[in-house]
Chains A and B, each alone.
Chain A
């Protein structure tokens, strides 16, 4: 079965928002620094206070790979498949997949926008498409 997130106290708001079709980012309520992955404290100012803010949904590809077999059994039917790290406008980075990309035509710096992928079991994964 495909690996799916097991939300914790910090990450639950992210996954809940995704299930509603929204890309949300944790932001420190004290110093307004965005952070991802979500965590209890702000690394910059150590505040425990945070808020959740809708992201613009726009990002650029920071790097990418194409995974070839042998991969985890859950992904075997997709291989070879791409995985990207994107850098959002808000300055944080996320791991995802480019839903409409093959390995040959992904480029670092390419503009992408968020898309939502129903992964089953009530889980929606934020993903990316070319802008």
Chain B
């Protein structure tokens, strides 16, 4: 069973990356952002829109395959699909694209995410005053924003494992340091410890700089077969393996109702990721961890086995995550906390740059990169390898 998955190891590769600028009010609709990003990714790959025959997106995405295809002159899409659960989907979407290529369903597949927050409001804000489904247990009590839901888990992690806001501060500062070298990053001013602790609480125990940015932007990647990638201009970022994961008794974005809420979806995706990729955490040169909120970095570092359970805080604060000199350079373009927040697509794009050696915070001899998607939600993860 697992053996058949190994047949897709290194068979597909990301060969093109593209993105718009990131801003708080980008002034262009999502469809335009998507088209710009996909065209840029195709140009980067040296491929034409007419080469594209597959499309994979987030279920969260508002743009549609048909309008993308129509605008770009893609006349026959032979594979299309989408992956669910908000920001948990990105790596899964790349993985689905890789599977399509590995099975021969498609040869050139684009994966994209475009967001203009002004065009739809916050997706999690209630529209009427009556709330059904899972949110009937959250919203009447005011546990309404993602930051509140994650803060609840963060405090519990502090209680069970002794993680602290000093650890979270170290994460925010490390990623801001990386963003300082990144001309695309939205937040480039240096962050001191005083800046972090002096900023307002958003949902105690989380402060302003524990929270991702609010960004508009579009990003896309193009995948094709490893074989075809050899004739294209950039070093290919091979999809070594990917995984998806939902754990037991899951509920929406955070799961207080399961026996151990800190046993995250990432813990489940981790087992399969390493099995599918045939590598372990020790072989990862650089990591891009979904950082909608800083405690998710702590939890995910533990989930994927980069440190012992419960040690994510001290590990993150040890300097390990720093691009220059750290044992495990992390979120090297600044991440969701300091570059931009577009549901983790910029983490995937930065992972490809690290494979190519073109990151502004280049990790020397970077051969193998792991990327994770949103934790707390059903999730996915990816291992990329230099060809």
Contacts and interface: CB of A to CB of B under 8 A. Distances in A.
Contacts of B12: none
Interface stretch (B59-67, B152-160, B312-320, B322-330): B152-160
Contacts of A53: none
A40 interface: no
A29 interface: no
Interface string A68-110: 1001101100101101010000001111110000010000100
A5 B133 CA distance: 9
Interface of A: 1-8, 11, 36-37, 43, 62-68, 71-72, 74-75, 78, 80-81, 83, 85, 92-97, 103, 108, 119, 123, 125
A65 to B, nearest CB: 4
B120 interface: no
Contact of B204 (A36, A66, A75): A66
B127 to A, nearest CB: 10
Nearest to A73: B125
Given A63-B153, A108-B156, A93 B257 contact: yes
A5 B210 CA distance: 30
A96 B141 contact: yes
Query: Secondary structure at chain B's binding surface: helix, strand, loop or mixed?
Result: mixed
Most buried by B among A2, A6, A7: A6
Interface in B198-216: 200-206
Interface of B: 125-126, 129-145, 148, 151-153, 155-156, 159, 200-206, 248-249, 251, 256-257
Contacts, number: 113
Contacts of B134: 37
B131 A65 contact: no
B147 to A, nearest CB: 8
A6 B145 contact: no
A124 B261 CA distance: 27
Contacts of A5: 130-132, 136-137, 140
B137 A95 contact: yes
Given A3-B126, A43-B249, A62-B256, A67 B139 contact: no
Interface centre among B138, B153, B256 (most CB of A within 10 A): B256
